[in-house]
Amino acid sequence: MNPVAAFPNVYFLGIGGIGMSALARWFQANGHRVSGYDKTLTPLTAALAAEGIAVHYDDAVASIPAEVRANRDQTLVVLTPAIPQDHRQWAWLREQGYDIRKRSQVLGLLTAGHRTIAVAGTHGKTTTSSMVAHLLHHAGVPCAAFLGGISVNLGSNLLLADVVPRVAEGLVVPLALNDAADIGDISNESGTTTEKSRGTTAPVVVEADEYDRSFLTLYPDIAIVTSTDADHLDIYGDKESLVESFRQFVGQIKPGGTLILNHTADQSVAAAVPAGVRVIRYGLSPEQGPELYADHISVHGHQFHFDLHGPHGAVADLALAVPGFHNVENMLAACCVAQLEGVGAEPLQAAVAAYRGVKRRFEFVLTVGEKVYVDDYAHHPREIEAFLRSLRALYPGKRLRVVFQPHLFSRTRDFAEGFAQSLSLADEVVMLAIYPARERPMPGVTSELILSQITAPRKSLQTMAQVLSAAEADSDFDVLATVGAGDIDQLVPRLKNILDIRWNGTQA
């Protein structure tokens, strides 16, 4: 049963967020009247509007739909942490006594009592959760998924279990969407998962976000932890507090469940699992000590080929079209989940080969001859290092230009040296101004803090307009990469158009 059936109206503050929009789509699919506010018009909010969801961009109370203002007790308000305290609509809704829940709390409500596969980590969780959902869906295992990015295969950040794959076309086709079909009830009276239910109901795949300790609303059957690197120090203060939150998260894995833990993560996390929870460590090679690993890794064009070895058997010659050593590692964890859910070797090979990634995760925007433009969401030093090292492996000896937009003043302050070291893998680095997101400026914290420490042969600080002008006038590169989690994505279609004209003589 839908645990929020008492609320025919659902109103989102920050509906354009990637996690918020997935929830909005779920409520819309299940017959609720959905509406919401966001600060700016984006392709995602435009898509929501095209799907029949009322979206507005003014925080005036009068902009809240009339049915929401007139029906307090029948309205659930879903809030993103990015909404500032002085937001006029939020203040009014609080004063009026509306039921206001954080996105993470609502996700916890929707997954409570159901078989849950939760993917956590300071980086890699969006790609890995999309891989899990894709592998299960492609193999014919019904599952629901709430993702933190737009899956290229699904064309969405939401998958409902009552959806069948059309593998030949690479599309998904929604069937009847009802409360009972998308997430089946799989708990017994004690709240624990039964062996019978494990094989007969649809699992739910969720991205478990550590920001603001959001993932502590989840009680998974299977958890993946991809990384525990320091991040969100504006929330946690220090790395140890961050790691402690991961220990709390894995401590909520249900009895008889499984933790799939990256070998580079803080290993104290493994000690926090409840009795009876199995721990499987994974990594790129057996020399690193994990029981789940890849070997015979080779690069063919854009594809990474590898063999999987693990506690549930070996699978030879997996071909991953989304490149990167870090993505091989992510796929190892996803394949392990698929094996736990009963997917055999041949369906797994086919599903891996069919995976096409997540928008803005190692996304090949344009390839013309030996010229390449790639876009990536990386916004942490380790993510950037993994991305650029993989680009170097794909294009050895090629001249690499990187355009990077730092995300958050606090993250720039905390990791300026790490950003500089990872970006120095490029031949040329172009820095944009910091994207503030939810933060106000901090004295002395600018992009220059990173730029001054970069050792790449060429480096500069530019505006978006200057980046576009440079692309029109200067082609002294073989590989271009745009990197960051702010609004740098607005550059992508414009850069693609400019480069397509320069490289092809045609308009994209």
Residue 166 tokens, joined: 């059309």
Cα–Cα distances (Å) from 463 to 96, 437, 469, in that order, read: 43, 17, 10
CB 402 within 8 A of CB 428: yes
Angle between helices 381-394 and 325-340 (to 10 degrees): 100
Residue 242 tokens, joined: 């961050």
Q: Is 121 annotated as a binding residue?
A: yes
Q: Is 125 annotated as a binding residue?
A: yes
Q: What is the dihedral of CA 60, 62, 66, 71, to 10 degrees?
A: 70
Backbone angles phi and psi of 120, in degrees to 5: -120, 165
Q: Is 127 annotated as a binding residue?
A: yes
Query: Closest by alpha carbon to 207, among 53, 347, 361?
Result: 361
CB 260 within 8 A of CB 241: no
* Residue 399 DSSP symbol: -
Backbone angles phi and psi of 204, in degrees to 5: -115, 125
Backbone angles phi and psi of 173, in degrees to 5: -125, 115
Backbone angles phi and psi of 94, in degrees to 5: -65, -45
| First-residue to last-residue Cα distance in the chain | 47
Q: Quote the CA–CA distance of 380 and 239 in Å, as a whole number.
A: 14
Q: What is the dihedral of CA 265, 267, 269, 270, to 10 degrees?
A: 120
Element (H, E) at 103: helix 103-111
Q: Is 124 annotated as a binding residue?
A: yes
Q: Is 95 exposed, middle or buried (0-12, 13-18, 19+ CB in 10 A)?
A: exposed
Q: Quote the CA–CA distance of 343 and 357 in Å, as a whole number.
A: 20
Q: Quote the CA–CA distance of 412 and 239 in Å, as a whole number.
A: 16
Backbone angles phi and psi of 382, in degrees to 5: -70, -35
Angle (CA) 439 442 447, round 5°: 95
Q: Quote the CA–CA distance of 213 and 361 in Å, as a whole number.
A: 24
Q: Is 389 exposed, middle or buried (0-12, 13-18, 19+ CB in 10 A)?
A: middle
CB 360 within 8 A of CB 376: yes
Q: Can you say which residues are annotated as belonging to the binding site for ATP? A: 121-127
